[in-house]
Structure 1
Amino acid sequence: MKSIESSYQIVDFSTLPGTPCPCGTARRAFADVEDYPATVHVTEIADDARVHYHKHHTETYYILECGPDAKMQLNDEQIPIRPGMCILIPPGTRHRAIGQMKIINIVMPKFDPADEFFD
């Protein structure tokens, strides 16, 4: 991530390392920007995403790409999804992606791996 001027930040996700997560592989930006209250992730979701929830994070998934049978499990429901959809996932909502997909995930407050819980 590069600061061009002190008033803004630019990140090229293709240069960020992928980090394993319960969903697949995430590339996370803006964790080190003190005045920004969130992190932005580009996540490639694997077929075997794990059901999990957060006690503090609110996540917003924007679906960039997915297969025709892709779904989101939100608590006990499975919702068909398609590119262009956006899903707000509040704290306490058990969730996982079903099928391969690529998403933008905006996490507020900033992502903390200690806020990932599994049943």
Structure 2
Amino acid sequence: MTARSAQGYEVVDFDAIPGVPCPCGTAKRGLADVEDYPGTIHITEISTDAKVHYHKRLTETYYFLECGEDARMQLDDEIIPVHPGMCIMIRPGTRHRALGQMKIINIVFPKFDPEDEWFD
């Protein structure tokens, strides 16, 4: 269980969540098991260039916590530099990947579904 439940709120300790491999690196996914929360929150560490992928249903919002000097995001055919404090909302159908080292918070709506990761 990723969250400690109490009436009216949920507490997630990301230090207690095991990381799982993902196209972007390693993700710790919180609130996935909370039925009345419509999304998931991930802490993702990217140590190498990620694989280009997209989602048909999911909207992801990346908030950059830490970035290497050369950190960038590929969004369809555009590559943009990123730095801590930036946020990018990625709509369904947008091919994307992280380039370089970074640590992000990824807010996903609806709840993350590994079946909705598509590769060309």
TM-score (norm 1): 0.97
**For 1:65-94, what per-residue CA distance to the aligned partner results, in whole angstroms no more than 9, with x for missing partners?**
001111000000000000000000000000
Structure 1 position 6, deviation (Å)? 2.3
Question: Which position in structure 2 is the counterpart of 1:8?
Answer: 9
Query: Which residues of 2 match residues 16-95 of structure 1 at below 5 A?
Result: 16-95=17-96
Q: What percent identity do the matched residue pairs reach?
A: 69
Structure 1 position 48, deviation (Å)? 2.8
Aligned equivalents of 1:4, 1:113: Cα separation in 2: 25
Structure 1 position 4, deviation (Å)? 4.4
Aligned equivalents of 2:102, 2:4: Cα separation in 1: 30
Task: Say whether the 8 Å CA contact 2:49–2:97 is kept in structure 1.
Answer: no
Q: 1:54 to 1:4 in 2, by over 3 A?
A: closer
TM-score (norm 2): 0.96
Q: Give the stretch that moved more between structures: 46-55 or 3-12.
A: 3-12
Question: Which position in structure 2 is the counterpart of 1:112?
Answer: 113
Aligned equivalents of 2:19, 2:8: Cα separation in 1: 27
Q: 1:105 to 1:2 in 2, by over 3 A?
A: closer
Equivalent position amino acid for 2:75 in 1: L
Equivalent position amino acid for 2:40 in 1: T
SS of the counterpart of 2:44? strand
Please give the root-mean-square deviation of Cα atoms over the aligned residues, in Å. 0.9
SS of the counterpart of 1:114? helix
Structure 1 position 2, deviation (Å)? 3.8
Structure 1 position 3, deviation (Å)? 2.6
Task: Say whether the 8 Å CA contact 2:3–2:31 is kept in structure 1.
Answer: no
Which runs of 5 or more residues in structure 2 are unaligned?
A: none
